[in-house]
Structure 1
Amino acid sequence: MKQKRMVVIGFIGTQLDSGSGSGRWEKWRPTVALTQHEDLLVDRMDLLYSGHHQNLVKQVTTDIASVSPETTVVPHHVPIDDPWDFEEVYSCLFDFAKTYPFDPDNEEYWVHITTGTHVVQICLFLMAEAHYFPGKLLQSSPARRHTVGAPGSYVLIDLDRSKYDQIAQRFTREQEEGVAFLKSGIATRNARFNTMIDEIERVAIKSKAPILFMGPTGAGKSFLARRLFALKKARHQLDGKFVEINCATLHGDGAASTLFGHIKGAFTGAASDRPGLLRSAHKGLLFLDEIGELGLDEQAMLLKAIEEKRFLPVGSDNEVQSDFQLIAGTNRDLSRDVVAGRFREDLYARVNLWTYELPGLVDRAEDVEPNIDYLLAQFSAENGQMVRFNKEAHEHYMRFAMSSDALWIGNFRDLSASVVRMATLADAGRITDGIVSDETGRLKRQWRHYARPMGEAADDVDLEQIVGASAYEQMDLFDIVQLKAVVGVCQRSKSLSDAGRKLFAASRDAKAKPNDADRLKKYLAKFSLSWDALHA
């Protein structure tokens, strides 16, 4: 295997590398010392310098040639006026890296971070970490005991190497803590939901772009927005406050005033200036729940505020500024609203960069139990008394909660209310089977208007149109009756998993690992159908 050429990139040390006369060989000079190690052959030294240090560069080049003739020194002047200015230093190094002819297949790069100002060293570190410099970081130091002419020592920092796993593990632990924080410590088991929360945590920490939460009422959009704010606040990424408004409550002329503020006399009743919610969210987080309910005029004003951080209060000719991060929530399909002309396409494109659909409780059946544990612990802490299920009551409630009878129309709001009711009625802190029976009956009555017999679900299914006339003519009556019932349930269910639980409610209990969604998917595939096609 061909050995790669060794290339060191670093700044000239205006203090450490300096020296004149024969006395300069008695001091440790980092750049020259690197070429004095017997076990290290530097093929090329790319020496960066700023200002008027050409004479020092020439001296160092001459000294390197005397101790290591094999090393070629290539000086690079970088136009840095203030080596303590982060923006200027980073910009210059970025420009250098973009034009440098890196050849990692034939050359190995070490980035020397011992010389230069602290700002220069930090910027070099960041550039290497971001792979703008595709190499390892190099630190050198003088001998511990002063020895005239000794080259000292050097150490490599390879950010990708396993010896630095502890550093990586620390960041991993911080991310895991962030994810747990977003979930309030609830040990959720739904793989799709956990993967989504993991990504949301990373996006929230790294990005200030708008985030869109989609999902049914009670799925936790507002709760998650508040947790995101608290997480960013704890990481010192936000200085302002959390501002929330349900856009469904905004109507008429008052909508623009509530969001963007107004000046005194802007309209009848405007007795004083009003800052508006967008200005109140300056340097903080603005959560617009049900953003699809905003009027088209307010949508246009919001788009400008997001993109330019500037907008006009109602009745004012002078723009105001507000630098906020936006999180939007909706239980509507905004893409369909765009097609229908109810939502601006440009605003949708702006808020649709990071979109997450929060599943309802029926799609996270495995998370019912950990959420019950969390709600009971929360109730116990607020009321100063431990509350628990007895064994029979717990089994009874879990059977109901995960069955097709549990519609969970209000999602986690329904579950929270249910647990609070049972905990309140629990004598001596024990939820009994009788309390559970009363509660499940209460929930069934609450949801009775949403339930629909299976037979009714099939009455208005036009199966011939769905499968096609040719395929329909070749189907047995048995298959027609069964498939119409299945399609009817699918069309009235919120998800594939929800439909599967309803259709396989009895047989699923006999399976060790029921996968209702997979069973339903395979059944539909027999007739060349899919869930997406049925809901197109």
Structure 2
Amino acid sequence: MKTVVISLLGTVLDNRGFNNKRWERWRPTLSLCQHEDLVVDRLELLFQPSFQTIADQLCRDIQTVSPETEVRQHNVALNDPWNFESVYAELLDFARGYAFDIDNEQYLLHITTGTHVAQICLYLLTEAHYLPGRLIQTSPPPRDGSAAGQYQIIDLDLSRYDQIASRFTKEHQEGAHYLKGGIETRNPAFNKMIEQVEKVAIRSQEPILLTGPSGSGKSQLARRIYQLKKKRGQFPGALVEVNCATLRGDNAMSALFGHVKGAFTGAVSARRGVLAEADNGMLFLDEIGELGLDEQAMLLRAIEDKRFMPLGADKESGSRFQLIAGTNRDLFQRVEQGRFREDLLARINLWSYRLPSLTQRLEDLDANIDYELEKFSQKTNSLVGFNKPAREYYLRFARSPEASWNSNFRDLNASITRMATLADGGRITLDGVEEEVRRLCGNWRRIENKPKIAIDDLLDKPIDLFDQLMLENVIQVCQSSQTAAEAGRKLFNVSRQSKASGNDSHRLIRYLAKFGMDFSRVKRFGV
């Protein structure tokens, strides 16, 4: 198999003049043809037309030291050798137009000559397989050494470098371990999800959507993603957290996008807003499904264009942030209900991960109990643990059908905190566990047996009996339907036939809004 070297002419290092002293100096391209253990069958020499004289001299010298080497000259238009875009484009054109014969020839890409920009471009083109070969780097000889110097062939197939590959694997494992809070989890689905989250966190700046029931750990995971990226030097800015359920009206716009002085009654001074505070950092919007439609529209533009308009301002502001959104809502259902923008959901749903509930991760109970105990011990500067019978009893209960874990890991945290606080001598005993089990079961029963809410409790003010009777029937239909659209189709089953394009969910939402209600609230509370 023939060996072919592709090299850029070194306009300084390959140019050592035209007298005999040039033979006493190291020339990187010439040196490629001076090694007994490296036979170059053909040299593809790339250079700008203005350096033709230097290229011709180099070709004659190569013929002197290595008559068996064929040299082919190629003119390339590197008008600005420090312009990355133009250099890459020119070298890419060369690669695409070259007739590679990988069955009969092996290719070496010389990365010693040319500007640093050109060397980087050769590296990138080789790594992307536009140039199907390996890199070769030459270096000058030690003092009083041979003028040929030394060379090293670099193979970019990193899978062949066991030490490097194992280092990458170790870094991924460390990152995933960090995202799990150092907890040795056993749930296969959860572990697989976290492994992908680690890759996305390091490689992507796009929005991440974390879904799952309340208390499943969305906030903690968002904070760990931020810390992981910050440790890798990806964020100079801060992590800014906002619970969107606390934002209403002008306060929502102001909190998110800021306002100027006098923008509304009570705006006695300007406010930056959390988007501006998250510049060059991360913004975590928890419960994003609670945002109003106007705020959603402005947020979408801020994500896509990194621009937004503070309330009352006459010019835009900018912020470059990565968004993590959290929700325990079904956002697709809220899109159907007309309460969440479909275009915003499409934008934040690129990387979406649903965190499982505690009851879906019962094999991780042991490790999470130890984690909560360690957190308590660090916080109180005291060592607390279970005795053996107490731990066994608690684990049996925690894995049984009696344990509903309604608030998931929040329930577990509160439970461990109570038992650890009441433990005498740093030991949680069987009596302590039995008392805690009774407390948990009582709390969960009260939630499950919560009485249904009367219509009067849902209304802001009394209404006529006529409206009350109609509203009761509308609510019954809503209770038996999965979505507002389904309920609307049932309620407007005749009138919708005469409409060219009906929006039944919108009609229902407007009707409920007359009484200060919405579909999700009606579904949440029985009547």
State the TM bucket, normalised to the shorter chain: 0.7 to 0.9
8 Å CA contact 2:41–2:68 kept in 1: the answer is: no
What residue in structure 1 maps to residue 291 of structure 2? 294
Counterpart pick for 1:238 among 235, 239, 262: 235
Aligned CA distance change for structure 1 residues 251 and 104 (closer, same or farther; 3 Å): farther
What residue in structure 1 maps to residue 418 of structure 2? 421
How far apart are the structure 2 equivalents of 1:122 and 1:391? 61
What is the one-letter code of the residue matched to 2:195? D
How far apart are the structure 1 equivalents of 2:190 and 2:96? 40
Shift in Å, 1:126: 4.1
Shift in Å, 1:336: 2.2
What is the one-letter code of the residue matched to 2:24? E
Residue 223 (1) aligns with residue 214 (2) = no
Shift in Å, 1:395: 0.9
Aligned CA distance change for structure 1 residues 289 and 50 (closer, same or farther; 3 Å): farther
Per-residue Cα deviation, 1:173-223 (whole angstroms, up to 9, x for no partner): 222222222122111111111111111111111111111111111111111
8 Å CA contact 1:80–1:92 kept in 2: the answer is: no
How far apart are the structure 1 equivalents of 2:185 and 2:363? 8
What is the one-letter code of the residue matched to 2:361? R
Per-residue Cα deviation, 1:234-254 (whole angstroms, up to 9, x for no partner): 112111111111111111222
How far apart are the structure 2 equivalents of 1:103 and 1:254? 67
Counterpart pick for 1:141 among 132, 139, 142: 139
How far apart are the structure 2 equivalents of 1:245 and 1:142? 59
User: Percent identity of the aligned residues?
Assistant: 57
Secondary structure of 1:52's partner?
helix
What is the one-letter code of the residue matched to 2:388? K
Secondary structure of 1:8's partner?
strand
What is the one-letter code of the residue matched to 2:73? V
Residue 412 (1) aligns with residue 409 (2) = yes
Shift in Å, 1:316: 1.8
How far apart are the structure 1 equivalents of 2:37 and 2:141? 16
Shift in Å, 1:314: 1.3
1:361-440 matches, cutoff 5 A? 361-440=358-437
Aligned CA distance change for structure 1 residues 92 and 327 (closer, same or farther; 3 Å): farther
Counterpart pick for 1:335 among 332, 336, 347: 332
What residue in structure 2 maps to residue 357 of structure 1? 354
Per-residue Cα deviation, 1:26-83 (whole angstroms, up to 9, x for no partner): 3222212212333333343333335832322222233334424442323241425253
Per-residue Cα deviation, 1:75-113 (whole angstroms, up to 9, x for no partner): 241425253x65665565556555655554554332222
Q: Which runs of 5+ in 1 are unaligned?
A: 453-490, 492-536
How far apart are the structure 2 equivalents of 1:426 and 1:313? 52
Secondary structure of 2:161's partner?
helix
How far apart are the structure 1 equivalents of 2:47 and 2:427? 75
Q: Which moved more, 1:7-16 or 1:220-229?
A: 7-16
What residue in structure 2 maps to residue 54 of structure 1? 52
What is the one-letter code of the residue matched to 1:332? R
Aligned CA distance change for structure 1 residues 202 and 421 (closer, same or farther; 3 Å): same
Shift in Å, 1:168: 2.5
8 Å CA contact 2:45–2:71 kept in 1: the answer is: no
What residue in structure 2 maps to residue 81 of structure 1? 80
What residue in structure 2 maps to residue 456 of structure 1? none
What residue in structure 1 maps to residue 504 of structure 2? none
What is the one-letter code of the residue matched to 1:13? G
Secondary structure of 1:14's partner?
coil
How far apart are the structure 1 equivalents of 2:313 and 2:158? 58
Aligned CA distance change for structure 1 residues 174 and 130 (closer, same or farther; 3 Å): farther
What's the C-alpha RMSD, in Å, of the aligned pairs? Answer: 2.4
What is the one-letter code of the residue matched to 1:374? Y
Secondary structure of 1:448's partner?
helix
TM-score (norm 1): 0.78
What residue in structure 1 maps to residue 38 of structure 2? 40
Counterpart pick for 1:183 among 157, 171, 180: 180
How far apart are the structure 1 equivalents of 2:34 and 2:72? 14
1:1-400 matches, cutoff 5 A? 3=1, 5-19=2-16, 20-50=18-48, 52-66=50-64, 67-83=66-82, 89-90=87-88, 93=91, 96-97=94-95, 102=100, 104-144=102-142, 146-147=144-145, 150-160=147-157, 164-400=161-397
What is the one-letter code of the residue matched to 2:394? Y
What is the one-letter code of the residue matched to 2:293? L
TM-score (norm 2): 0.79
How far apart are the structure 1 equivalents of 2:48 and 2:444? 74
What is the one-letter code of the residue matched to 1:357? R
What is the one-letter code of the residue matched to 1:135? G
8 Å CA contact 1:7–1:45 kept in 2: the answer is: yes
How far apart are the structure 2 equivalents of 1:217 and 1:95? 55
Runs of 4+ in 1 over 6 A off after TM superposition: none
Shift in Å, 1:312: 0.9
How far apart are the structure 2 equivalents of 1:124 and 1:156? 14
Secondary structure of 1:364's partner?
helix
Shift in Å, 1:303: 0.8
Aligned CA distance change for structure 1 residues 76 and 432 (closer, same or farther; 3 Å): farther
Aligned CA distance change for structure 1 residues 131 and 399 (closer, same or farther; 3 Å): farther
Between the two proteins, the alignment pairs up a number of residues equal to 448
Shift in Å, 1:270: 1.5
Secondary structure of 1:239's partner?
coil
1:502-513 matches, cutoff 5 A? none
Aligned CA distance change for structure 1 residues 26 and 260 (closer, same or farther; 3 Å): same
8 Å CA contact 1:213–1:357 kept in 2: the answer is: yes
Shift in Å, 1:144: 3.9
